[in-house]
Structure formats: structure tokens, C-alpha cells
Chains A and B, each alone.
Chain A
Amino acid sequence: MLHRHSLLIAFVLSCAPAASSPPVGDVSHIPLEDTVGNTTNLATLAHGRVTVATLWAPWCEGCREEEPALLRLHQLAMQRRDFVLVSIAIDAKAEELAKTPYPRLVDTGTFAEVGHRRVPTTLVIDASGRTVYEGGALDRAALDALTKALRTN
């Protein structure tokens, strides 16, 4: 029921124009669960680096479509080591998540409460923990923001 409700909320919200907007708020310290149930947050995983966080849900078609691009971005992150890619599952349980090369975390509800309700959503968080970009699926605008954050790092 919860899945369907979230789907419907996403359906209603999808009536609004494309979702990319000026970011607000500190999301890097929001508590999240890893795939074995430990509590962590984006700041802990980032270790002072720039973070690309992608919000997704198991029922989201658009999220599945962007997975190949995320894998390529993760490969770049492993080469460069000056940013990290983290995915955050909304409306999912840790044991249901398939393994990926990049960290997958589970939202405990707080992300949605602070206004991050749309999926897919891409956040770029600079080294100080400030969200500098929020948009839909990974695209040129998100990479622009990542490039800018890396240059000012």
C-alpha cells in the first residue's frame, strides 16, 4: 500500500513542470541505512569530498533508465577519487536492494520529509556539505554542477 501511495504522489506531482530547482537545506547529515542496516549519512561517506547523490525507487522506470550512466559516473569517481556517487532508495527496504558497485543507502523517511519527494532526483553536494544542485535524472546540468563543485573544491 505504501508503494502505491508513493507512486500516486509521484503521479500527482509529475503534473508540475520538470523538476530541477535551486537547492536548499543540509542533507548530508540526514540519517540513512546501509544495506546491512547500519545507520550512516552522506557526510560520513564523502570524507570531505564532493558527493553526487541520486534518489530512486524500485518502481521508478526513469531510475532504471539512468543506471548505465550512474555506473559510468561511478567508474569516473573511482579513477578521480575527488567525488563519490551514492544512491538513496526511497520507499524500499534494505534487504530488497540489488548490489551495485557504488554505495546504496535507504532513506528512513527523513529525505521525503525535507522535501525530496521526486524520483529520480540528482543532488550535488559540495565538500562543505552544502547542496549546490538538485534536478531530475542525471543530465548535463547535473554534470555542470559537479564540474563546478570540483573546481571550487
Chain B
Amino acid sequence: MTRFFLAVLLVLAWTSAARAEGEIDYAKILGPRESDALEITSIAMRLTAYSQEGLGFQSKAGPVQGPGSERLTVFEPQLEVRAKQGDRITHRVWVPVDIVTSASANAIDRGATPDVITNASQHNEAGSIDWTMQYKAGDTTTVTLRSGAHLEEEFRSWLVGASVSQGFFEQNTVITLGLLSSLDWFDNFELDGSRNGIKRRSTVTGSVGVTQVLSPSTLASLSYGITTQAGELGNTWNIVPIQGDTVDHEIMPASRLRHAIVARVAQALPWSAVLKGYYRFYADDWAIVGHTFEVQLLQHIGKSLYAGFGWRHHTQTGARFFTTLADPSMAPRTADSDLQALDSDSFTGRLGIDIPRGRDGTLHFDIAYERYFRTNDLSSNVFTCSTAILF
């Protein structure tokens, strides 16, 4: 019996020693960077100045039924923080703040009574917070959760979403499934600018996409998204010119079903450049069909300087109920220029520099300019400058 116990003890000691031999102290090897503590990996600040010129039927800076000036200036400071939590979780928090300094300014300059639009956005601040968490669930699986909120004087919005990415064939193929839902609630405006209760709408988007490494220097992706919306789909303060020299409320359908197919390709070029191509097909049950094409070239100049150029062209048919002069009984009806048949182009230029600071990370600066114009009297200049610290 004694021999039996000794044998058991020996076996236990041997297996225990073998287990100890196999153990690796992860924290000792990986150090504090791999602990579960939150570690900030980058902080970026960006300032975008948006200046719009053009004519539209939502402005009172013109004839009662004619299009008026939609001059608008927006400053948008943004803060983006990325952080790592352990070796599986990353966070991204993005906080943009919109400051609308001038809207339909011509109307105000002329001393006209501000309409509902100018009253709502003559001077306006809006803020958002968008949080994305990515969890590496396995060698080939990534789960992403997203939540955000938007708040401004007459509009509030909350969104939540999730997606799952699964890699195949050495991660050369990645398939992603996503679901995103948002709920908006906003003040209901009467024609004289007074508020009358609250309106709501909900939006749900489902998407599926595949990303494929085609060669060591070529990456392509294809995705499809379907979106369904229900509730008040206008903003309640848009107006429509009505026969009889007057205006009345915009009336939107109670639902909208939207489809989009997006194809992208990125190609590294031998002269230190990357060429990106983008195409989007869009169709919805309001009879809008759109095609968007975009090309971008990113060119490195030396080790830390780069320049980017882009051109984007968009063409779309109008909503079947778009009108610039409606019969009083027409419903639905809209005069929103975004829902009109139009062609648009935008040209973008960007210059950036990365300055390595050794162990303190990298300092990044860039400036960008975009010129946007379209066939139905709207154009804009967008200036962006940003700085970031990448740890």
C-alpha cells in the first residue's frame, strides 16, 4: 500500500513538473502593453470648414416660389481617439461638433423675416459621439460593435450596430456581415417656424461584403447593403412651391427601401503610389437610381511626405414625386434638391506629412481641399486640416 501511495505521489509530482515546464508567464513576456489596461494608440484632431453656395427651394432668400440662396458656412472640429485594451480589443471614439455660423444669409442680410430654415439654423451647434469596439474573437474572426448619438437643437439620433468578419484562405478572403439600426426623433415644425410635437423615424441597414487580396499589391472588395426606413422621412421644415403663388409642407412617403452595391479596388503602383477605384450603384423605391464613380491617387514623396488627388462623379434620377410647383392635392411631394435628378462632381487635393518622434510615436499633419458642384445650382468648398499623434 505504501508503495502504491509513493507511486501515485511520484506520478503527481512528475505531471506537475511537466505542467510547470509547459507554462509560460504571458505577462512577463508581453509586458504591460499586453495587459487589459486601456492604452491610447492615437489621438487625432481635425478641423473642417465647409462653405456652400447655391440656390434651393428651402431658402427664403429669393422669390416666394423661386429658389433662394442656400449659402451656408459650417465649422466642424473633430476629435478621434483610438485605444487598445489587451491584445484582442480596440476602441475608436469619434466626436465631431458642427458649428453652423451662417445659413440663408442673404435673407438675413436683406432684413427679411427669417423662414423656418433660417430660424432653425441661423446659428446652430450640434455634437455627436461615435464609439466602435472591435473584438478579435479568434485567429480569423473579428466582431465589431458600434454605438453613437447625435444631438442638436431640434434633432436627436441614436444608432447601434454590429458586424462579424470571418477570414478564409490565410485571410486573403474576408467576408463581413453587418446590421446597423438608428432611431431619430426631432421637433415637428409648422410653416411659421413654431414647433408642434415630436416626429420619429427608424432606419435599419443589413449588409454583406467580401474583401479579396487579388495579388501582393492588389486588394478588392464588393458589398451589398439594404436599408429600410419608416416614420417621418422628411425633416418637417422643408417646403414645396404650390400652385396659387404659395408654399406648403413637404409630404414624404411613410417608408423607403434602399439598395446599394459598392465595388472597390486598391492597387499599389511601382512608383510609390496607390491607386484606388470605387463604384456605387444605388436604387430605391422612390425611383431614384444613382451611379457614383471615384478614383483616388495617393503618391508618396520621400519618406514622410505624401500627396493625394481624387475625382468623384455622381449621377442620379430624381424621386418620382419631386416637383418645383405642386398641385395643392399632390402627395407625396418634395422640392428638396437632393432628391432631384442631378449630376455632381468633386475634386479633392490632399497634402500630408508624418514626422517620426522615436519612442514618442509619430506626428501627422495634413491639409485637404475639396471643390464640389452639381447641375442643380449647388456648389461647395471644403477645407480640412488635421493633426494626429500616433503612439
Contact of B140 among A22, A72, A133, A146 (CB under 8 A): A22
Once bound together, how far apart are the Cα atoms of A137 and B347, in whole Å?
A: 38
Residues on the B chain within 8 Å of A97, using CB: none
**Nearest Cβ distance between residue A40 and chain B, in whole angstroms?**
25
Interface 1/0 per residue, A15-53 and B, CB below 8 Å:
111111111100000000000000000000000000000
B28 interfacial by beta-carbon distance below 8 Å:
yes
B31 interfacial by beta-carbon distance below 8 Å:
yes
A117 interfacial by beta-carbon distance below 8 Å:
yes
Interface 1/0 per residue, B56-77 and A, CB below 8 Å:
0000000000000000000000
Contact of B139 among A20, A117, A147 (CB under 8 A): A20
Contacts A22-B170, A69-B30, A140-B87: A12 and B266 contacting too (C-beta < 8 A)?
yes
Contacts A17-B167, A69-B30: A1 and B142 contacting too (C-beta < 8 A)?
no
Check if A9 sits within 8 Å of B23, measured CB to CB: no
Once bound together, how far apart are the Cα atoms of A151 and B269, in whole Å?
A: 45
Contact of B29 among A69, A117, A135 (CB under 8 A): A69
Q: A12-B219, A13-B216, A140-B26 are in contact. List 17 more A-B contacts (CB 8 A).
A: A1-B272, A8-B268, A12-B266, A13-B219, A17-B167, A22-B140, A24-B170, A61-B390, A68-B31, A69-B29, A69-B30, A117-B216, A133-B139, A140-B30, A140-B86, A143-B29, A146-B24
Residues on the B chain within 8 Å of A4, using CB: 272, 300
Check if B22 sits within 8 Å of A73, measured CB to CB: no
Check if A20 sits within 8 Å of B140, measured CB to CB: yes
Query: Is the contact region of chain B dominated by helix, strand, or loop, or is it mixed?
Result: mixed
Check if B273 sits within 8 Å of A8, measured CB to CB: yes
Check if B28 sits within 8 Å of A9, measured CB to CB: no
Once bound together, how far apart are the Cα atoms of A134 and B213, in whole Å?
A: 17
A60 interfacial by beta-carbon distance below 8 Å:
no
Can you name 17 A-B residue pairings with CB atoms under 8 Å?
A4-B272, A7-B300, A8-B273, A8-B274, A13-B213, A13-B219, A16-B211, A17-B176, A19-B171, A20-B139, A69-B31, A69-B34, A139-B87, A140-B88, A141-B87, A143-B29, A151-B22
Residues on the B chain within 8 Å of A134, using CB: 170
Check if B167 sits within 8 Å of A21, measured CB to CB: yes
The residue in chain A whose Cβ has the minimal distance to the Cβ of B174 is A17
Interface 1/0 per residue, B14-27 and A, CB below 8 Å:
00000001111010
Once bound together, how far apart are the Cα atoms of A11 and B24, in whole Å?
A: 33
Contacts A4-B300, A8-B268, A112-B216: A18 and B142 contacting too (C-beta < 8 A)?
yes
Task: Name the residue among A5, A18, A21, A65 with the largest chain B CB count within 10 angstroms.
Answer: A18
Check if B269 sits within 8 Å of A141, measured CB to CB: no
B136 interfacial by beta-carbon distance below 8 Å:
yes
Task: Name the residue among B136, B139, B167, B362 with the largest chain A CB count within 10 angstroms.
Answer: B139
**Nearest Cβ distance between residue B24 and chain A, in whole angstroms?**
6
The residue in chain B whose Cβ has the minimal distance to the Cβ of A146 is B24
Which residues of chain A in 74-106 are interfacial with respect to chain B, using CB atoms and an 8 Å cutoff? 76, 80
**Nearest Cβ distance between residue A10 and chain B, in whole angstroms?**
9
Check if A143 sits within 8 Å of B24, measured CB to CB: yes
Check if A72 sits within 8 Å of B28, measured CB to CB: yes
B113 interfacial by beta-carbon distance below 8 Å:
no
A: which residues have CB within 8 A of B?
1, 4-5, 7-9, 11-13, 15-24, 61, 65, 68-69, 72-73, 76, 80, 112, 115, 117, 133-135, 138-141, 143, 146-147, 150-151
Query: Chain B, interface size: which category?
Result: 35 or more
Which residues of chain B in 265-292 are interfacial with respect to chain A, using CB atoms and an 8 Å cutoff? 266-274
Residues on the A chain within 8 Å of B213, using CB: 13, 16
Residues on the A chain within 8 Å of B211, using CB: 15-17
Check if A143 sits within 8 Å of B219, measured CB to CB: no
Residues on the A chain within 8 Å of B216, using CB: 9, 13, 112, 117
B165 interfacial by beta-carbon distance below 8 Å:
yes
**Nearest Cβ distance between residue A141 and chain B, in whole angstroms?**
7
Q: Which 4 A-B pairs have the closest CB atoms?
A: A139-B87, A4-B272, A21-B171, A8-B268
Residues on the A chain within 8 Å of B362, using CB: 61
The residue in chain A whose Cβ has the minimal distance to the Cβ of B86 is A140
Once bound together, how far apart are the Cα atoms of A150 and B139, in whole Å?
A: 19
Check if A17 sits within 8 Å of B165, measured CB to CB: yes
Residues on the A chain within 8 Å of B172, using CB: 115
Residues on the B chain within 8 Å of A19, using CB: 171
**Nearest Cβ distance between residue B277 and chain A, in whole angstroms?**
12
Once bound together, how far apart are the Cα atoms of A22 and B362, in whole Å?
A: 32
Contact of B217 among A12, A22, A146 (CB under 8 A): A12
Task: Name the residue among A16, A68, A117 with the largest chain B CB count within 10 angstroms.
Answer: A16
Check if A12 sits within 8 Å of B274, measured CB to CB: yes
Check if B22 sits within 8 Å of A150, measured CB to CB: yes
Once bound together, how far apart are the Cα atoms of A112 and B217, in whole Å?
A: 12
Contacts A1-B272, A13-B213: A138 and B142 contacting too (C-beta < 8 A)?
no
Once bound together, how far apart are the Cα atoms of A105 and B277, in whole Å?
A: 38
Once bound together, how far apart are the Cα atoms of A9 and B342, in whole Å?
A: 37
Check if A5 sits within 8 Å of B270, measured CB to CB: yes
